[in-house]
Chains A and B, each alone.
Chain A
Amino acid sequence: DGGITQSPKYLFRKEGQNVTLSCEQNLNHDAMYWYRQDPGQGLRLIYYSQIVNDFQKGDIAEGYSVSREKKESFPLTVTSAQKNPTAFYLCASSKGQGTRPQHFGDGTRLSIL
């Protein structure tokens, strides 16, 4: 079955440490997205990519970095510059423009040790 796979499901970060969240899709989707979800808040866009080797900052990109070397993969690195990284991180993909919805992975819950 086609879908979006995020790993790990739970992740713990120590102070000063960078961590990378994985997102892989086999839906042949062009666009991929990273969102952050905090309790009582909506999904906020961190970064998105519409084609390989290109990506744009979303609304809360500070303290995060991404790469898009392959169509299927869009990893997110939470750097030590992100001072409040505890959140639920969701990766999504879509075929692109028009009516097509974004499809989401099952998420990674990141906590600080």
Chain B
Amino acid sequence: GQNIDQPTEMTATEGAIVQINCTYQTSGFNGLFWYQQHAGEAPTFLSYNVLDGLEEKGRFSSFLSRSKGYSYLLLKELQMKDSASYLCAVREGTDKLIFGTGTRLQVFP
């Protein structure tokens, strides 16, 4: 079956570092995406991993271990505007994405 697990909620302090984990069990794997979604808005693309290792993009980094079915999104130097939901999605086959339920992150001053 298909299963993507993320923590439901996390809190952190402005300026800190937070790691959002995602574990997956899918029938196929052709890449993992992270999206950011502010309440009532469209998800926006953050990162993509298809090979094992770390991808860094400014304050955001994403890590993948295919053998463990595991990824994390690392957010550094947290800002208040980073308060949002973070969606982990696995691409099965050539195009379809399977989404996790999302992690709601609240950043406090």
Question: How far, in whole Å, are A16 and B44 apart by their CA atoms in the complex?
Answer: 34
Number of interface residues of B (CB under 8 A): 22
CB pair A99–B4 under 8 Å, yes or no, is no
The bracket for how many chain A residues form the interface is: 20 to 34
Answer whether residue A2 sits at the interface, using C-beta atoms and an 8 A cutoff: no
Q: Chain B residues with Cβ under 8 A from A107's Cβ?
A: 40-42
Q: Does B96 contact A (CB under 8 A)?
A: yes
**Which of B50, B89, B99 has a CB less than 8 Å from the CB of A99?**
B50
Contact of A40 among B48, B99, B101 (CB under 8 A): B101
- Is the beta-carbon distance between A41 and B101 smaller than 8 angstroms? yes
List chain B residues, Cβ under 8 A from A99.
31, 48, 50
A8 at the interface (CB under 8 A from B): no
Q: Name the distance in Å between A14's Cβ and chain B's nearest Cβ.
A: 24
Interface string of B17-43 (1 = CB under 8 A from A): 000000000000001010000001111
Residues of B with C-beta under 8 A to A50: 95
**Cα–Cα distance between A99 and B94 once the two chains are bound (Å):** 10
Q: Chain A residues with Cβ under 8 A from B43's Cβ? A: 43, 90, 104
Does any Cβ of B come within 8 Å of A31's Cβ? yes
Cβ–Cβ contact A48 & B99, under 8 A: no
Having A96-B95, A106-B41, one finds 11 other A-B pairs with CB under 8 Å, namely A42-B101, A42-B102, A43-B97, A44-B99, A58-B96, A90-B42, A94-B95, A99-B50, A101-B33, A103-B45, A104-B43
